């Protein structure tokens, strides 16, 4: 039985090889092009110990700073604001849900974890309803709302507005014409994107 199976397998491979072979004219030139793309990703994180003793290693170091207007210059503050913008935009561009989710406020998380709100968004959005997308999780929200909103768009840092040491607004320019504002709050030892 083993010998029959072995002979059958060899015969099948021979037939497969014959069928899959292609003959070409000897005068015909064949060129094969191989494209190799290398992507380098830089992830900047720090490990912090929260008050409950749990270690959180997903906090982007660019989002960990304290604003003391008496100890930093306007240029330093602007640099910090650019870092907030860059940190969030990199996570969105890379589709890094976990990094993005760890960079949003508790209030924002509560909002996008509410099934009633997600259902209403799904029904009220022409973009989502036309594609029959039903948001059910924060990851759905990230993929179908946050990422899709930036698809084919250019978003650049423009300026910032200091509200107080716990609240700042980062002003961006969308497609070189429209202003777009990110709200950040200082929460649990780092800056978080807020709704």
CA 158 to chain centre: 21
Could you give the domains of the chain?
46-194 (3.10.450)
Q: For position 36, what pLDDT does the model report?
A: 37
The two three-digit tokens of residue 120, written as one number: 């209403």
* Beta-carbon-side half-sphere exposure of residue 142 (alpha carbons within 13 Å): 22
Rounded CA separation 195/186 (Å): 13
Task: State residue 123 phi and psi, 5-degree precision.
Answer: -80, -35
Model pTM above 0.75: no
Q: For position 149, what pLDDT does the model report?
A: 86
Helix ranges (DSSP H) in the chain: 2-20, 74-93, 97-101, 106-112, 115-124, 126-130, 138-141, 148-150
pLDDT in tens, the chain (195 residues): 545 444 444 443 333 333 344 444 444 444 444 343 333 333 333 333 333 434 355 788 999 999 998 899 999 999 999 999 999 999 999 999 999 999 999 999 999 999 999 999 999 999 999 999 999 999 999 999 999 988 888 899 999 999 999 999 999 998 888 898 999 999 999 999 998
Q: For position 142, what pLDDT does the model report?
A: 97
The two three-digit tokens of residue 110, written as one number: 């509560």
CB count in 10 Å sphere of residue 30: 5
Closest-CA residue to 123 (of 108, 134, 113): 134
Q: For position 3, what pLDDT does the model report?
A: 53
The answer for residues whose C-beta is within 8 angstroms of residue 33's C-beta and 6 or more apart is: none
The length of the chain, given as a count of residues: 195
- Residue 20 in 3-state DSSP? helix
The two three-digit tokens of residue 45, written as one number: 């994180």
């Amino acid at each position: 039985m083993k010998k029959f199976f072995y002979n059958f397998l060899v015969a099948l491979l021979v037939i497969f090889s014959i069928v899959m072979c292609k003959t070409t004219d000897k005068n015909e030139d064949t060129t094969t092009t191989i494209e190799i793309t290398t992507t380098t990703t830089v992830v900047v994180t720090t490990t912090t110990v929260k008050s409950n003793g749990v270690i959180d290693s997903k906090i982007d170091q660019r989002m960990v700073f304290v604003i003391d207007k008496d100890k930093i210059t306007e240029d330093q503050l602007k640099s910090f604001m650019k870092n907030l913008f860059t940190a969030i935009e990199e996570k969105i561009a890379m589709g890094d849900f976990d990094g993005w989710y760890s960079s949003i406020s508790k209030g924002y998380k509560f909002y996008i974890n509410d099934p009633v709100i997600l259902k209403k968004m799904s029904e009220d959005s022409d973009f989502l309803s036309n594609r029959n997308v039903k948001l059910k999780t924060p990851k759905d929200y990230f993929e179908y709302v946050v990422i899709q909103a930036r698809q084919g768009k250019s978003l650049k840092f423009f300026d910032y507005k200091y509200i107080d040491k716990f609240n700042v607004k980062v002003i961006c320019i969308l497609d070189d014409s429209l202003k777009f504002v990110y709200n950040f709050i200082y929460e649990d030892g780092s800056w978080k994107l807020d709704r």
